Structure 1
Amino acid sequence: MTESVVQSQALGKEVRITIRRPDNRNALNREVADGIIAAICAAERDSDCRVIVLTGEGERAFCAGGDIKAGADGGPFVQDPAAPDHFAGRLFETIQACRKPTIARINGVAMGAGAGVICACDLAVMADHARIGTPEVKVGLFPMTIVPPMMRVLPRRRLMEMFITGVPLTTEEALQFNLVNYVTDAAGLDGKVAELVAQIAAQSPSAIRLGKYACHAMEDMTYPQQMRFAETLLPLVAQTEDAREGFDAFIAKRKPEWTGR
């Protein structure tokens, strides 16, 4: 039986989704994308899961981009022109729309589609030996499907420089331009991820879920539209069970017990 190229593992309040193609530097193909999408959907249904962590197997690569060697059997550069829906686009949309917080655990190089996955996640922690880049121009391509998620994170001029030179970012640059939240040495990567998971798991699941929904909805609105949406949504958030529990716990000076409702 063929071993799955994507592993989903429950680790307390975390579900860790790992790309398992280390010999191919965890490159993305249709099977990997479908596996991650299925794992995210399952984690969203899991009431014990509070945070989803995406990573790659080993220490060499988070995801080295689209699998150039793959052809019609699942590579990202072969597409039926009559069916424009692309698995990479579905992957980024699934991560972006996920109702639970997502963390990219960047254990090694993240190129092309790997950079897109990072930008689609809510948070990112990077090992100091890793690099993030978009080298597609070096082989005569342009990273079309990762443009939308990356445009929402990086400044335009920095992004265009990455796209048209193919030069990867250093860890210092990734921090400077807010592509990642934290950089650690390899030994400290899991510790920092665990710290973030614990901080998130201590908060209200319903507040986080509705907050992510609001942030995504307001992203493409005008400023007045954002304010009207926020004004409408705030009283609804205050009516959740978690909000009532949070108020009661604050007044009683005790730790809240969240239900996620």
Structure 2
Amino acid sequence: MVENVVRSEARGHEIRITICRPDQRNALNRDVAEGIVAALQVAEADADCRVIVVTGEGERAFCAGGDLKAGADGGPFVQDPADPGHFAGRLFEALHACRKPTIARINGVAVGGGAGIICACDLAVMADHAKIGTPEVKVGLFPMTIVPPMMRVLPRRRLMEMFITGIPLTAEESLRHDLVNYVTDSAGLDDKVSELVAQIAAQSPTAIRLGKYACHAMDDMTYPQQMRFAETLLPRMAQTEDAREGFDAFTAKRKPEWTGR
């Protein structure tokens, strides 16, 4: 992990991954992307971690998109012609594929790649002073790498308006268009994140893991394919240790003790 630009810390059942470039408004470059991916891998392997929270340092910015000043030192527009992959794409794919629940803690402005990170996470909590935008058209670009994650969250017409006007959404608009789950004032941001973490941590990690797997697998299936997949997976889920424990706890009217298996 690149310690100077990404910090990862355990907070009970939560692992918080923080972009630590406040002077650059937590802008995204190769080191940040690779640092987050590495932190995700560590969090996924940590049995005590039940929820992963991604945020930016300070209150000014969550992530101000690709670092336009980085140039050859890791900016978003310099690429090895022999390698078609892009670090931003790998980051969004890693977030999307993460087997543990992810929450975007939007502490400030989120534009470009920052909006992509939010859409690649499972849930999002936003401070009321923050905004989410895609201003790439203002510098003659289009937000190519964030199109896939954002298309999975926002309705097409709203998304196209963001892309072709460059006008950001306020916190209220982001909530209205289901881009985020909750909006709070800055003082209540951590309380709401902690509330969600506690709610998730109380549930079966096995059910959540298999449920995320199923939802992602069904994304591009036809409706009949989705039903056949669900019909096949449900009996397998019922055979897990967590499911048996859940049934026993329900019958005995006690709190379940999840094993995560």
TM range, normalised to the smaller chain?
A: over 0.9
CA 1:11–1:108 in 2, change beyond 3 Å: closer, same or farther?
same
Asked whether the 8 Å contact 2:8–2:16 carries over to 1, the reply is: yes
The aligned counterpart of 2:171 is 171
The aligned counterpart of 2:217 is 217
The aligned counterpart of 1:77 is 77
Cα deviation 1:206-228 (Å, max 9, x = unaligned): 00000000000001000000000
- Which segments of structure 1 move beyond 4 Å, counting only runs of 4 or more? none
Measure the CA separation in 1 of the matches of 2:194 and 2:3. 27
Residue correspondences, number: 260
Cα deviation 1:184-230 (Å, max 9, x = unaligned): 00000000000000000000000000000000000100000000000
Measure the CA separation in 1 of the matches of 2:225 and 2:102. 27
Letter of the 2:167 counterpart: V
The aligned counterpart of 2:57 is 57
1:31 partnered with 2:31 = yes
Provide the TM-score with structure 2 as the length reference.
0.99
The aligned counterpart of 2:194 is 194
The aligned counterpart of 1:255 is 255
The aligned counterpart of 1:42 is 42
Cα deviation 1:222-243 (Å, max 9, x = unaligned): 0000000000000000000000
- Give % identity: 84
Asked whether the 8 Å contact 2:110–2:132 carries over to 1, the reply is: yes
Letter of the 1:163 counterpart: F
Instruction: Give the gaps of 5 or more residues in structure 2.
Output: none
The aligned counterpart of 1:227 is 227
The aligned counterpart of 1:109 is 109
The aligned counterpart of 1:6 is 6
Measure the CA separation in 1 of the matches of 2:99 and 2:3. 29
Provide the TM-score with structure 1 as the length reference.
0.99
Cα deviation for residue 3 of structure 1 reads 5.5
Asked whether the 8 Å contact 2:3–2:35 carries over to 1, the reply is: no
Letter of the 1:113 counterpart: G
Cα deviation for residue 82 of structure 1 reads 2.1
Measure the CA separation in 1 of the matches of 2:79 and 2:156. 28
Letter of the 2:148 counterpart: P
Instruction: Give the gaps of 5 or more residues in structure 1.
Output: none
Cα deviation for residue 172 of structure 1 reads 1.4
Measure the CA separation in 2 of the matches of 1:51 and 1:163. 31
1:180 partnered with 2:206 = no
Describe the SS at the equivalent of 2:62: strand
